[in-house]
Amino acid sequence: MRRFLLFGVLGALMAVAYVRTASLQNGGPVRQLAPGVWSRQGDKNVRLPANTSWIEFKDFVVIIDANTPWGINAALPDIKKTTSKPVKYAFDTHYHWDHTQGNSILVDQGVTVVCSEECGKELVGPKGKGEWDSMSRNQQYPLAPYRLQPPSVMFGDSMVIDDGDRRLELRRVGPAHTIGDAVAYLPKEGILFTGDLLVNWKFGNNVGDRDADVPHWVQVLLDLAKPDVKTVVPGHGNIGTTDTLRAQSAFLDDLWKQVSAGKKAGKTVEDLLKSVDLSKHGDFAADQSQNQSAIRQVFRKVS
């Protein structure tokens, strides 16, 4: 009997280990970050650029970022593979299309969408509606079956989801990437979900939102890089650490300072496209076309 019990325990442990790692070994996008905490990495090449994460509580699940309709439809089966509990909340880190256009799918399944007050205003205002209308005309992104869905719950500075066993802290930190940027943090596990405040891939970061505040963004990233943060989940790309937050901050700071100094010295944007050197920032500056786009966008912002 002991032998059977031992084999049973070992088998269960091996099964858990397999669920945790098989998708990565097979090139899959799902990764377990802690017991009950998962993240699904997006893939820019198949129109699924944004990461979506989920957190299991005692009786329900919280999703971080509703993604696009096709993105959340791809993530929901993976969520069901990891837990039988219902999704109760979805938290949108900011209003941009690839983090919120899946809202209507989740709301139709009884999910409560949460975001900061400013995120909600941006989503249903000219910027969010403009994104939706523009993309509705793009045949690659069919939005006809869906709708622009505002959040059901909005918070000012912060909100907490706590069931006694697990605590998730939501905190607005914008304006930075957008006005309404907010982060989610699991203090017990030391896991931070940043949305697009951090983008950890080779395709650059979007600094072009008309209300983006790059100098404040630089400081926000440094403020988030606290010693108790062990794991950082970006809006796009690979899982990172506080070093990744600091590296993104350094890239944005250097971009802003070089462009600001050049413009104040009377240089044109065409001059700066040739002279601004961001190469020391590695993957954050790996895409030259994105660098040039960022230089143009920052040039417009510098007073």
pLDDT on residue 303: 83
pLDDT value of position 6: 36
Q: What is the pLDDT of residue 76?
A: 98
Alpha carbon distance 166, 216 (integer Å)? 31
pLDDT of residue 99: 98
- Half-sphere exposure of 242 toward its Cβ, with a 13 Å CA cutoff? 10
Share above pLDDT 70 across residues of the chain, in percent, rounded to a whole number = 91
Q: Name which of 182, 184, 189 is nearest 165 in CA terms.
A: 189
List pLDDT tens digits, range 16-35: 333 343 344 344 799 999 99
Is residue 44's pLDDT more than 70? Answer: yes
Res. 8: pLDDT tops 80: no
What's the mean per-residue pLDDT of the chain? 91
Of the listed ranges 23-27, 145-149, 214-218, 273-277, the one predicted with least confidence:
23-27
* pLDDT at residue number 22: 36
Q: How confident is the model at residue 141 (pLDDT cuts 50, 70, 90)?
A: confident
Instruction: Calculate mean pLDDT across residues 195-214.
Output: 96
pLDDT at 28 (0 to 100): 76
C-alpha closest to that of 65 among 46, 77, 49: 49
pLDDT for residue 149 is more than 80: yes
Contact 161, 89 (CB under 8 A): yes
Q: What is the pLDDT of residues 48-90, one digit of tens each?
A: 899 999 999 999 999 999 999 999 999 999 999 999 999 999 9
pLDDT of residue 10: 37
Looking at residue 54, its pLDDT comes to 98
